Structure 1
Amino acid sequence: MKRRSLLKGLSLAGLVGIYKPSTLLARTEINNDTASINGSRDRAYWVSLMDKIASPVLDNMSKGLLRKNMDMRVSPIWDNRDIGVGYLEALGRLAVGMGPWLALEEVNANEKVIQSRLKKQLQDSIAKGVDPKSADYLSWDKGSQPLVDAAFLAQAFVKAPKVLWEPLSDGTKQQLIHEFKQLRRIKPYESNWLLFAAMIESFLLEIGENVEEKRIDYAIEKIVTWYKGDGWYSDGAVFSFDYYNSYVIQPMLVDILRVNVKQGRRTRDEFDRAYKRMQRYAEFLERMISPEGTYPIFGRSATYRTAIFQPLVQLALEDALPDWITPAQVRSAITAVKKRVFIPESFTKDGWLTLGIIGDRQSGLADSYSNTGSMYLTSLSFLPLGLPETHPFWSAPFQEWTMLKAWKGEPFRKDYHVDF
């Protein structure tokens, strides 16, 4: 594991957002429809795709028009919860994936135009979401689902405070704090949901508010008891083979511990252990990307698409990848995946994400709690946009990932169980 990189750039005085930071051809050659050779071209593609995904949500919500105009679709087996929760899902899930990029100062002129527009729209959308007089005031008090997506919004504030939290008006800040605190009425399930409560309290801790420490400490200690080994946690008492280690458990535990160690509440050893486990888990994610740029689809919430790569790309953002995985290797692999996933049929005619994985004919894969807003968790795979274009993630040429090497008959790293 990249022990040196674990400590490099992870100063507890700062948070992630502040770091300045298809088809196969013969013999398994990848053509430029699947992965480009030039990193700057890859970055332009990622920025364009981020803009395409985010703009329908943020352009509408910043004007108070999201509820009116969003093409809100629900799973065929929808559980009849209040549909209004989907708007908070869209906002919170987009914010956490976009935050590090919106905080980046070193961007070229063309990218700056897009970044500045989306940053202002996201700030305005957050303000609309907590203003009771706004048509887009969010459903903070409907059922238990708001706990989930308020946590993603809180995580976004932790990742990029200088652009997402600090510029907000005092009134908006106070209303957000109020909405976050009233969510204490919700007792989280004995699952990854414990981390949602802990994430909100950790953000409140970070900004100097009084917190319910038990909601933080119980979550950390319970998740640790569910560790099964070799980088995998169970999502509750019974292990389920799905991607919730990616969507929530690994990265949210790390972000919670980062704040709490900084604030003197938890130990550095706890953080280091959780981080090493995330590094190990990320090794599996990198190996799951096939030569064609596909990945295995299993378990619930599969329609969250590229969100499964959150731990891998967060490590890239933080310069903490395992030694044998290079930044350009990750960029090349994830770019190949994005080009397989985000085909025209993955969007409605008005640009909203569909409920499938590849195209809109797969809406039957959506779980009972899934709606259009849920799909925006896919923004998590865009975290490396928070790295400047001079960083090796973007500046280094195309590099083959593990399974591309393996199925071309080239040497590749053997894999063995790790115990920590």
Structure 2
Amino acid sequence: MAGGTAALTTADAATAAKQPKQAQLSDRAYMAGLLQKMAEPILVNMAKGELKKAFPIEVAPTWDGRDKNVAHMEAFGRLMAGAAPWLSLPDTATPEGQVRKRLTAAAVQAYVHSVDPNSPDYLLWRGHGQALVDSAFFTNALMRASKQLWEPLDATTQKRVVEEIKGLRRVSPPYTNWLLFAAMNEAFLLMIGEDWDPMRVDLAVKKMEEWYVGDGWVADGSKFHFDYYNSYVIYPMLVEILEVLKAYDAKFNNLKPADELAKWLKRMQRYGEHLERFVSSTGTYPPIGRSLTYRTAVFQPLGLLAWRKSLPPSLAEGQVRAAITAAHKSIFTDPSNFTADGYLTIGFAGHQPTLGDRYSNNGSMYITSEGFVSLGLAEDDSYWTSPAQDWTQKKAFSNQTFPKDYAVDY
């Protein structure tokens, strides 16, 4: 038996050696393919006005009892915020470029349905405060890819979007990261030439400064929470709001958008250094805090810095790309992250519904797309073509030289 088994193994190995080896996916192909898998069921169905019919809602065991139909707005708005940088790239003849072209067309039609009261996929804009949260992702996407997503919309749809966004001024945000949702919507209105409320923006910027605790970390309210809301919301939204204020030379009170942007970008770079150091030598990272099931949205600040070509000197592009790709593989290796129909499930590194919070539904999970912001860089950009480099923990645990880390005072 032993001899026979050895002979069979040797023969199989010889046969396999003659077969062409399957090319390993590049980091770019892996990330783009994963985002496509995430986006396809949402956008294809919603483009036809059939998302509500097709989307199987799942809620956490501790669900707080709110209308479950918030899930559709969460899924669409959050997905679009993360996918928009990718869809903002110009059309190309590459296979990826053709996928982007098709999904962009679907996204535009989905936006039409989202605000059409006569559509089966008209979103739940009214009657609850949660709409303010997801409207900010909805408008952030339109800001990130305005030429591809906002400008192609017909005049009626654009008018409806503005009406729904302004209507959400009825929601009084609590003194938490929610202030940034209100501010994001006002920044969007400023960008498209509508009347906007500078006080909502001013309050958010001032509160973030008040809650800055140092060394790149911001508290979410008056008390510090050790979680990833600096990644999910605070840094990306604050920096992008300030970018709009600077671009449109917005002046009010004593706020100086250019100075604020430079300061917060520097702080986000510091926070990005921490995120990179969180990635273990095998690609895992700490499962901490609220909204743990938002998965790789944790790495949004690093993706945004890469997209803006603003990574700190301490972080090489190939190093960041390798770390982020490894982190995605550590999460998405388990197929139960998706249902059989291709929708995201509640979980962290698989289907783990008990990890959901009282506000968690499977639509909430689509904020995961924010981990793919670096796809806004073209396929031939140096971020994607530079050689992969070991990240900090991989160096540390393989007896390589790596930089020590010290707190900063900005």
For the criterion TM > 0.5, the same-fold answer is yes
Q: Is the 8 A contact 1:107 1:388 kept in 2?
A: no
Q: In the alignment, which residue of structure 2 is the partner of 1:212? A: 197
- Does residue 54 of structure 2 align to residue 63 of structure 1? no
Equivalent residue runs for 1:291-306 within 5 Å: 291-306=281-296
C-alpha displacement of 1:331: 1.1
Equivalent residue runs for 1:14-413 within 5 Å: 41-105=26-90, 107-265=92-250, 266-267=255-256, 268-342=258-332, 343-360=334-351, 362-413=352-403
Deviates more, 1:340-349 or 1:168-177: 340-349
Figure out how many residues of one structure are paired with residues of the other and give that number: 382
Q: Is the 8 A contact 1:39 1:397 kept in 2?
A: no
C-alpha displacement of 1:397: 1.9
Higher RCO (C-alpha 8 Å, min separation 6)? 1
Question: Residues 139 and 395 from structure 1, CA distance in 2 versus in 1: closer, same or farther, beyond 3 angstroms?
Answer: same
Question: Residues 169 and 39 from structure 1, CA distance in 2 versus in 1: closer, same or farther, beyond 3 angstroms?
Answer: farther
Q: Is the 8 A contact 1:39 1:394 kept in 2?
A: no
Q: Deviations over 1:45-85 (max 9, x none)?
A: 11111111111111111111111110110011001111111
Q: In the alignment, which residue of structure 1 is the partner of 2:14? A: none
Question: TM-score, normalised on structure 2?
Answer: 0.91
Question: Residues 407 and 107 from structure 1, CA distance in 2 versus in 1: closer, same or farther, beyond 3 angstroms?
Answer: farther
Letter in 1 for 2:234: I
Q: Is the 8 A contact 2:92 2:98 kept in 1?
A: no
Question: Tell me, what secondary structure is at the counterpart of 1:372?
Answer: coil
C-alpha displacement of 1:142: 2.8
C-alpha displacement of 1:39: 9.9
In structure 2, runs of 5+ residues without a counterpart are: 1-22
Share of identical aligned residues, percent? 49
Equivalent residue runs for 1:5-16 within 5 Å: none
Question: Tell me, what secondary structure is at the counterpart of 1:228?
Answer: strand
In 1, distance between residues paired with 2:174 and 2:288? 22
Letter in 2 for 1:388: A
Runs of 4+ in structure 1 over 6 Å off: none
Larger radius of gyration: 2
In 2, distance between residues paired with 1:142 and 1:347? 30
Question: TM-score, normalised on structure 1?
Answer: 0.89
Q: Deviations over 1:198-229 (max 9, x none)?
A: 00011001111111221111111111110000
Q: Is the 8 A contact 1:39 1:395 kept in 2?
A: no
Letter in 2 for 1:203: F
Question: Tell me, what secondary structure is at the counterpart of 2:74?
Answer: helix
Letter in 2 for 1:204: L
What root-mean-square deviation, in Å, do the aligned CA atoms of Structure 1 and Structure 2 show? Answer: 1.2
In 1, distance between residues paired with 2:97 and 2:404? 42
Q: Deviations over 1:343-389 (max 9, x none)?
A: 211111111111011111x1100000010110000101111111112
In 2, distance between residues paired with 1:112 and 1:229? 41
In 2, distance between residues paired with 1:55 and 1:46? 14
In 1, distance between residues paired with 2:288 and 2:217? 16
Letter in 1 for 2:274: F
Q: Is the 8 A contact 1:40 1:389 kept in 2?
A: no
Q: Deviations over 1:242-280 (max 9, x none)?
A: 100000001100011111122222421111111111000
Letter in 1 for 2:329: K
Letter in 1 for 2:340: K
In 2, distance between residues paired with 1:240 and 1:42? 32
In structure 1, runs of 5+ residues without a counterpart are: 1-37
Q: Is the 8 A contact 2:91 2:100 kept in 1?
A: no
Q: Is the 8 A contact 2:71 2:361 kept in 1?
A: yes
Question: Tell me, what secondary structure is at the counterpart of 1:272?
Answer: helix
Letter in 2 for 1:353: L
Letter in 2 for 1:276: K
In 1, distance between residues paired with 2:26 and 2:93? 13
Q: Is the 8 A contact 1:60 1:69 kept in 2?
A: yes
